[in-house]
Amino acid sequence: MREQAAVSAMLCPVCHVGLAMTDRQGVEIDYCPQCRGVWLDRGELDKIIDRAMSDTAAPARPAPFAQPSYRPDRDYRDDGRGYPKKRKKSFLEELFD
């Protein structure tokens, strides 16, 4: 991936040292070995961005939110109170009826 850096005739605008040139994934990058500044030619930043976007896969979509299951709508008379349950008769009550 990383090739040998070649020193170009261009000087660093910050520290006036000759810029080194390297090739990273088909993009030539000029950098200063002293201040570590990076300079790109026209269109090289776009190439880097395009390659970065194609390398990263789209994140997986989260599972849809599951609605809690509710009971069906109740009638206005169904307030939960209702009539009390009839008491089960004992076998003795059945004998004397």
pLDDT tens digits for range 34-73: 998 888 888 888 888 888 777 666 667 777 777 766 666 6
| Average pLDDT in the chain | 74
- By the 8 A CB rule, do 21 and 6 touch? yes
- By the 8 A CB rule, do 26 and 11 touch? no
Q: What angle do CA 23, 57, 30 make, to 5 degrees?
A: 15
Residue 1, pLDDT score: 41
CA atoms within 13 A on the CB side of 36: 0
Q: And the tokens for 65?
A: 């939110």
